[in-house]
Amino acid sequence: MNFLEERIVKDGIVKPGNVLKVDSFLNHQMDIGLMEQIGKEFKRRFSDKHITKVMTIESSGIGIAAFVAKEFGVPMVFAKKSKSINIEGEMYVAEVDSFTHKNRNQVIVSRKFLGPDDHLLIIDDFLANGCALQGLISIASSAGATIEGLGIVIEKGFQIGGNVIRNLGYHLESLAIVDAMDAETGTITFRPQPDRTAEATYDI
Amino acid sequence: MNFLEERIVKDGIVKPGNVLKVDSFLNHQMDIGLMEQIGKEFKRRFSDKHITKVMTIESSGIGIAAFVAKEFGVPMVFAKKSKSINIEGEMYVAEVDSFTHKNRNQVIVSRKFLGPDDHLLIIDDFLANGCALQGLISIASSAGATIEGLGIVIEKGFQIGGNVIRNLGYHLESLAIVDAMDAETGTITFRPQPDRTAEATYDI
């Protein structure tokens, strides 16, 4: 297991309905040492890419994306969820379905902060059906920016989002891919990753 | 001017209605180097305090609070805004008015992540009327936690929030206190801070 899979096994809680609670270290309370480790791991996985900006979506992506941006030495921009239509031509807009809240939001990014010269690394905490990522990809396309890659902390491999993004030809890296969860036994099955065979050491 | 006041003068935009836009470096696009500097400055200002946890509120407080928590070597927890009443006795809840969105939100923190042993540093990006901070103070009180201090990046000194918090006896540190803004001329007047004796007005 890599450092993140180990942490999920240690502190994650499997709930009925394929819910994985990681709120003790990732998306409510944040373990800052882990955030730094995640930042370094994405830097390693996308080390061959020229990144000019990290993009994410509020809220729980922000802390993670900030530490990824720190590693690349670039700014971070986070898309905002908005119910109000107060655009004034100043914003890129995408429509995003929310699985958690069962509604539809506008996601907006100011035109000031994205353009054709940007080479983006898109970061988020979870990937399930992929709606949020699709919204961010749509915004990047509107801006004419280049998407160099997408980095996800936890992918639910049994949902469609990851396949859709990979089928579209994007370089998607998920630090942990959960292929199955069992709420009764509390077991989690992780998909094998390329570097699983060799042991990897990270200086943090 | 301190580093933050200098950045506000350089990149902030004064809009009619006492609006100060700092979205190019603080609350939409984030300058990560500046976040690190802010983290270190709060560490300096609260260096005599024993802090066990940094608390903030989503969304724009998250990135800042994460770098403050990094300096103190402690976890960060962010309160979530929730419209749904789905509490199940697991959450501390406060009601908060939103000035920006003209509505009323519930702000929630899981009981798992706050308790009587916690010594909190509460962090947010803006302080105006103080509703968000009051909600966080209310949650801390519900948890029986000790509030060691509150750190704000930009305080609107001409609104009531800062005075209320200080009158309540809390140790509040704001890195920049804006006492006046003029959208026509673009000038900003900062309140003197301990390391600067005279009030100063700057054209931006």
Successive 10-residue mean pLDDT values, chain A, 204 residues: 96 95 97 98 98 97 98 98 70 83 85 98 97 96 98 97 97 97 94 65 45
Neighbours of A184 (CB within 10 A): 7
The pLDDT value recorded for residue A202 is: 45
Is residue B175 within 8 Å of B150, Cβ to Cβ?
Answer: no
Is residue A171 within 8 Å of A162, Cβ to Cβ?
Answer: no
Q: DSSP states of A124-181 as a string? A: EEEESS-HHHHHHHHHHHHHT-EEEEEEEEEEETTSSHHHHHHHTT--EEEEEEEEEE
Side chain identity at B121, as an amino acid letter?
Answer: L
The pLDDT value recorded for residue B88 is: 60
What's the pLDDT tens digit per position in B6-29? 999 999 999 999 999 999 999 999
The pLDDT value recorded for residue A87 is: 57
Is residue A135 within 8 Å of A94, Cβ to Cβ?
Answer: yes
The pLDDT value recorded for residue A198 is: 46
**Torsion, CA B26, CA A91, CA A72, CA B22, rounded to 10:** -10
What's the pLDDT tens digit per position in A93-150? 999 887 666 778 899 999 999 999 999 999 999 999 999 999 999 999 999 999 999 9
CA atoms of A141 and A59, how far apart (whole Å): 22
The pLDDT value recorded for residue B97 is: 82
Which of 12-51 (B) contact A at CB < 8 A? 23-24, 28-32, 35-36
Neighbours of B18 (CB within 10 A): 15
The pLDDT value recorded for residue A200 is: 44
- Whether B125 shows a pLDDT value over 70: the answer reads yes
Which of 65-94 (A) contact B at CB < 8 A? 66-67, 69-70, 73-78, 80, 84
CA atoms of B74 and B95, how far apart (whole Å): 27
Average pLDDT of B39-67?
Answer: 97
The pLDDT value recorded for residue B78 is: 98
What's the pLDDT tens digit per position in B73-101? 999 999 999 866 555 679 999 998 876 66
What domains, with CATH codes, occur in chain A?
3-78+115-189 (3.40.50.2020)
Q: DSSP states of A48-99 as a string? A: TS--SEEEEETTTHHHHHHHHHHHHT--EEEEEEESS---TT-EEEEEEEET
Return the residue matching tokens 């930042």: A39
The answer to whether residue B63 neighbours chain A at the CB level (below 8 Å) is: yes
The pLDDT value recorded for residue B149 is: 98
* Chain A / chain B CB contacts < 8 angstroms: 93
Residue in A29, A75, A78 nearest the CB of B75: A29
The pLDDT value recorded for residue A204 is: 42
* B101: closest chain A residue by CA: A84
Of chain B, the percentage scoring pLDDT greater than 70 comes to: 92
Q: Which residues of A touch B29 (CB under 8 A)?
A: 75-77, 110, 112-113
